Structure 1
Amino acid sequence: MTSSTTGSGTGNATGNGFGLCAGRVAVVTGAGRGLGRAHAHALAAEGARVVVNDLGVGLDGAGGSAGPAQDVVDEIVAAGGEAVAHGGDIATAVGAASLVATAVETFGRLDILVNNAGFLRDKMLVNLDEDAWDAVMRVHLKGHFLALKYAGAHWRAEAKAGRAPQARVINTSSGAGLLGSVGQGNYSAAKAGILGLTLVAAAELGRYGVQVNAIAPAARTRMTEEVFAEAMTASGEGGFDAMAPENVSPLVVWLASEAAAGVTGRVFEAEAGRITVMEGWRPGPSADKGARWTPAEAGEAALVLLAAAELPQPVYGAQ
């Protein structure tokens, strides 16, 4: 299901003008509100033509409306940019394939995929039912996988046809995926899975001219508005809204541009005015007996290694 609206103008707001992403075509999932909306606007402001994907569902994934995606398209067009709405479900093969097709059929190419769509169904583990687990895994992890699969297949075909792309994928993880979050076992697991998927995709698709990175943003959206409602930092004339989703988008735009050449398989935290390169799992203290340990020996060695290791970061919400 698609609906399109395009416009043209001058300057950075138009897909045919100037800007870091001038001449490039981006698709952004979950772009009707929050972070996705901010990313779509920021990409358009830097010259990209944008496919705005959103089902218009509620915070828990229920319902649906074409309004949010079309509203963002109308805003981009009013600013002199070019955009098209896409209402397909990217957690289905049909929806993900049509997302890629919409970009190619409308704008003639695809250069950027920003995977952002998601919702919450929070419960403590012992109260978390299978439906809530499956629903969150479906939209976050399967949605990332399918959009990446069909975009990757398109770019592979382009590369094999001699039209080597300079393609970019930006996946959306979370601090919950990096550290875990109490009451969000399903969400944390899905966001951690996105990090693993990012690393694999970067390794597999690099030969076709595709770079794949992930962000772990912190911003005030429908999913976090209660947490960040009062988070404001006065900085400069008029103040600085530290939790505005627009603070995350500049990094996304740069990662989506040709200026980010050579940056792939990396994870960035982005919050307010701070950008952090996350270093992930890497070997710490180690011991090698050169033979099989007994259980008692393994325990003794583990205690020595733990004493030499850095303490892990605390899980969000842990006491």
Structure 2
Amino acid sequence: MSQARTMDGKVVIVTGAGGGVGKAIALLAAAEGAKVVVNDLGVSLNGEKQALSPAEQVVQAIQTAGGQAIANADSVADWDSAQRMVEQAVDTFGRIDAVVNSAGILRDAIFHKLEPADFESVIRVHLFGAYNTSRAAASHFRAQGGGALVHMTSTSGLIGGLGQANYAAAKMGIVGLSRSISMDMARFGVRSNCIAPHAFSRMIESVPGLSPEEQERYLEKRRQTTRPEQIAPLAVLLCSDQAKDVSGQIFGARGNEVYLYNQPRPIRTLQRGEGWTPSTLAEQMIPAWRTSFTPAERTKDVFGWEAI
């Protein structure tokens, strides 16, 4: 007798699933038995419309492999579109069991050159997008007594990076959103977790800072050691019943590594019976805590070892 697959009987929406991490998750979820709504707006990272439909291509790949999937081209940044996406899943497959929020864009700029439109557009796709799709699914999850949300955060927010204040702000907002959902919806059996992925994708490829030759060498190495397919197992697990007791967490996946992030908690305290003034804080707090301050590190400083 063949072993039951991880996602048999489940219906999953994967946003931004026309390529990269989202595509890999959609393909694996389908291979594990899920019926998948493959959402992709069909645009480039800067928001330009593409002639072909990446979502339709992923659907065809799933169907060719014997799975079930439908394409969806709604925008996660729009409330009504997110509602239609979930309605399409329920109308087509009868239910909705999980949403993976993978859709994203980049509008990188050093902060003093970051335009309001580019800040807002990134926030709307990533943070509003995660809210819109999660909220659209929440009523169904509550009614059926369960569901799973998986959100893509980023080391750009968790650790730090250059030229991505809009992206980092959105990704840290997603962490807070996920944590709150995990608490608010726990009574209904709903789980919410984050993944900070390291994977070669259109987003990684678009990050500037190296000469063309250096960038090609760097990207070729990343293509081999940090692939979207290495992120997918963790995301699919978190959508499945095998992770029914896991919620409110931040995971990472990098090459063949998976890891768990800590979350902000107080690490040092000082108390002064008569209270504080700016001067006494400067005299006592700063010297006492200086060695505990988080340094201005970037992702590459924290992950000093090679992915394998």
Helix, strand or coil at the partner of 1:268 = strand
1:105 to 58, 81, 91: 91
> % of aligned pairs identical?
38
Instruction: Give the corresponding residue for 1:267.
Output: 250
The correspondence of residues 183-222 of structure 1 with structure 2, limited to 5 A, is 183-222=163-202
1:11-59 CA-partner distances (Å, limit 9, x unpaired): 79xxxxx311111110000000100000000101111110000001111
Unaligned runs of 5+ in 2: 207-214, 302-308
Q: What is the number of residues matched between the two proteins?
A: 290
Q: Is the 8 A contact 2:200 2:222 kept in 1?
A: no
Q: State which drifts further: 274-283 or 210-219.
A: 274-283
Tell me by how many angstroms 1:62 deviates: 2.2
Instruction: Give the corresponding residue for 1:238.
Output: none
Q: Is the 8 A contact 1:66 1:87 kept in 2?
A: no
Instruction: Give the corresponding residue for 2:275.
Output: 292
Instruction: Give the corresponding residue for 1:223.
Output: 203
2:128 to 142, 155, 176: 142
Which amino acid in 1 is paired with 2:177? L
Residues 1:279 and 1:151: Cα distance change in structure 2 (over 3 Å): same
Instruction: Give the corresponding residue for 1:126.
Output: 112
Q: State which drifts further: 50-59 or 293-302.
A: 293-302
Instruction: Give the corresponding residue for 1:3.
Output: none
Tell me by how many angstroms 1:317 deviates: 7.4
Paired with 1:311 and 1:132, the residues of 2 have a C-alpha distance of: 28
Tell me by how many angstroms 1:300 deviates: 2.1
Q: Is the 8 A contact 2:145 2:190 kept in 1?
A: no
Tell me by how many angstroms 1:316 deviates: 4.2
Paired with 2:296 and 2:249, the residues of 1 have a C-alpha distance of: 19
Residues 1:127 and 1:232: Cα distance change in structure 2 (over 3 Å): closer
Paired with 2:78 and 2:270, the residues of 1 have a C-alpha distance of: 46
Instruction: Give the corresponding residue for 2:101.
Output: 115
Q: TM-score, normalised by structure 2?
A: 0.89
Q: Is the 8 A contact 1:202 1:210 kept in 2?
A: yes
Which amino acid in 2 is paired with 1:272? G
Paired with 1:31 and 1:270, the residues of 2 have a C-alpha distance of: 18
1:167-220 CA-partner distances (Å, limit 9, x unpaired): 110000010010121111111111111111111111111111100000000100
Paired with 1:317 and 1:216, the residues of 2 have a C-alpha distance of: 14
RMSD of equivalent CA atoms: 1.9
Q: Is the 8 A contact 2:25 2:232 kept in 1?
A: yes
Residues 1:132 and 1:292: Cα distance change in structure 2 (over 3 Å): same
Q: Which runs of 4+ in 1 moved over 6 A?
A: none
Q: Is the 8 A contact 1:55 1:66 kept in 2?
A: no
Paired with 2:291 and 2:274, the residues of 1 have a C-alpha distance of: 22
1:280 to 248, 251, 263: 263
Q: State which drifts further: 206-215 or 289-298.
A: 289-298
Tell me by how many angstroms 1:112 deviates: 0.7
Q: TM-score, normalised by structure 1?
A: 0.86
